[in-house]
Amino acid sequence: MGLKKILDNMKPAFSEGGKLSAFGSLFDAAETFFYVPNETAKVRGAHIHDAIDSKRSIFFVIIALIPAILFGMYNIGYQHNLAVGVPTDDIFGQFLYGLGVMLPKIVVSYAVGLGIECAVAQWKKEEVHEGFFVTGMLIPLIVPVNCPLWILAIATAFAVIFAKEVFGGTGMNIFNPALVTRAFLFFAYPAMMSGDKVWVNENYMDCINGTIDGYSCATPLGQLGAGEPVTYDAMDTIIGTIPGSIGETSFIAIMIGAVILIWAGIASWKIIVSTFVGGALLAYLLPYEGAQNFEWWEQLTVGGFAFGAVFMATDPVTAARTECGKYIYGFLIGAMAIIIRVLNPGFPEGMMLAILLMNVFAPLIDYCFIQSNINKRAKRAVK
């Protein structure tokens, strides 16, 4: 008996009035996971963007994230071996080590986030929206390796409730939930999120137990922030064999993801390109004072800049939607990120804050462009 028949047979139990109707949303999510839904959008009042269901577009984002995920796992193992003093040529072994560290984080992020989303969806009697699939994958990638799991759980819960559900669920949020998670972690538990001890993992069991016995090792931005010479070459920052948050270190892996997203038409190339342009301009204009071994363009390859530009800034819900607005939005994100990094002594990394700030302004940017458009057309009509 085919899968479709099995699902069809199970359906009545999960519908209204059925025995398992409390889990109706969950069943609905699972069913549309496998098969395209039968309903079409109502004609009145809908703005149709694409023929594909949003689940498919989300899948593309996950696929685009895979290079960063795989490299991130390898890098965890690599940095660990480097720190412990063991030879670093065992590629597969290092990857497995990183996998062991990452997996609990991924599980926690999805479990907490989806748990809350399902509960809310059931309470409101709507279907579970799959927007969290992307957020759930992004969250483990933007935290340092030694972040304890229970802290990650609290932060995810906070972000899902206060940055998403309170506003009305997926599609209604102003702020990027993955970044709100990170912002909450940064402000609530600063000792776990920055400094020198959080970037290299000594024992992956520590990660689960949440102990901080980390090897002391600074990231390039950490070194720049403290005015110390940078001990990593430009090539290191591009390939990604530097300490940092799990997914953000490898420029190459992120670029592969960017290519996938642009080719599939999921992410807007305008935002990505304008973010890099804005960042490059400000990086050129605002060099770090007395920085050694650091080119101005390396600003674009270190820290969370590339990752934020490709995966966070392009989130369609929170970004600007007008085509011209996207240029301004991306440019300002890149510019602000560099300004915060260089000029503010309290924040060595500025990408998270820059994107959250521009999330607030995105509707304003759109409004300005739409208004000017309306005014232009009004003038033409009068003539």
Partner 1 sequence: MAKLNTNSNVYTIVYASVMVIIVAFLLAFVASSLKATQDANVARDVKGQILSSVNLRGEADVDAKYAEVITENADGTFTANINGEQKLIVPLKGAGLWGPIWGYISVNKDGETVYGAFFNHEGETAGLGARIVEEWFQTGFNGKKIFMGDEVALGVYKAGKAPSNLSADYVVDAVTGATLTSDGVRNMLQKCIAQYADAIKAFKGGESKSCDAKPCCGEGQCEMADSCCADSCADCASSCDECGACKAEKECGACCESDNTNK
Partner 2 sequence: MSLFSKENGEVFKSPLNLNNPVAVQVLGICSALAVTSQLKPAIVMGLSVTVITAFANVIISLLRKTIPNRIRIIVQLVVVAALVTIVSNILKAYVYDVSVQLSVYVGLIITNCILMGRLEAFAMQNGPWESFLDGVGNGLGYAFVLVVVGFFRELLGFGTILGFQVVPDCCYMENGGLYLNNGMMTMPAMALILVACFIWAHRSINKEK
Under the rule (CB under 8 A), what is the footprint of partner 2? Answer: 148, 150-151, 162, 184, 187-192, 209-212
Q: Which two tokens stand for residue 16?
A: 């209204």
Does 346 bind partner 1 (CB under 8 A)? Our answer is: yes
Q: Which helix (H) or strand (E) holds 110?
A: helix 91-124
* Distance separating alpha carbons of residues 111 and 115, to the nearest angstrom: 6
Closer CB to partner 1, 92 or 187, in the complex: 187
Tell me which of 105, 129, 197, 321 binds partner 1, using CB under 8 A.
Answer: 197
Taking the C-alpha atoms of residue 324 and residue 321, their distance in angstroms, rounded to an integer, is 9
Strand pairing partners for 200?
215
Determine the interface stretch with partner 1 among 58-66, 73-81, 187-195, 276-284 (rule: CB under 8 A): 187-195
Sequence-distant (6+) residues with CB within 8 A of 271 are 309, 313, 314, 319, 320, 326, 329, 330
Shortest approach of partner 2 to residue 169 CB, angstroms?
16
228 in the Ramachandran plot: left (φ > 0), alpha (ψ -120 to 50) or beta?
Answer: beta
CB of 79 closer than 8 Å to CB of 200: yes
Smallest gap from Cβ 190 to partner 1, in A, equals: 6
Q: Distance from CA of residue 166 to its chain's centroid?
A: 20
Task: Please tell me whether residue 191 binds partner 1 under the rule CB under 8 A.
Answer: yes
Asked if 290 is part of the footprint of partner 1 (rule: CB under 8 A), the reply reads: no
3-state secondary structure of 30: helix
Looking at the Cβ atoms of 103 and 154, the one nearer to partner 2 is 154
93 vs 210 by CB, closer to partner 2:
210
Partner whose binding site includes residue 345, from partner 1, partner 2, none (CB under 5 to 8 Å by kind): partner 1
Residue 216 touches which of partner 2, partner 1, none (CB < 5 to 8 A by kind)? partner 1
Distance (Å) of CA 242 to CA 72, 207, 212, 337: 10, 19, 19, 20
Residue nearer to partner 1 on the CB measure, 87 or 345: 345
Question: Per-residue x/- marks for partner 1, 216-255, CB under 8 A?
Answer: x--------xx-x---------------------------
Q: Which does 50 bind (CB under 5 to 8 A by kind): partner 2, partner 1, none?
A: none
Q: Which CA distances in Å does 54 have to 51, 67, 133? A: 9, 22, 11
- Nearest distance from C-beta of residue 156 to partner 2, angstroms: 15
Sign of CA dihedral 79, 80, 81, 82: positive
Coil, helix or strand for 27?
A: helix
Q: Which is nearer to partner 1, 290 or 346 (CB)?
A: 346
Q: Give the single-character DSSP code of 320.
A: -
- Of 190 and 227, nearer to partner 2 (C-beta) is 190
CB 237 to partner 2: min, Å: 30
* Residue 23 interacting partner from partner 1, partner 2, none (CB closer than 5 to 8 Å by kind): none
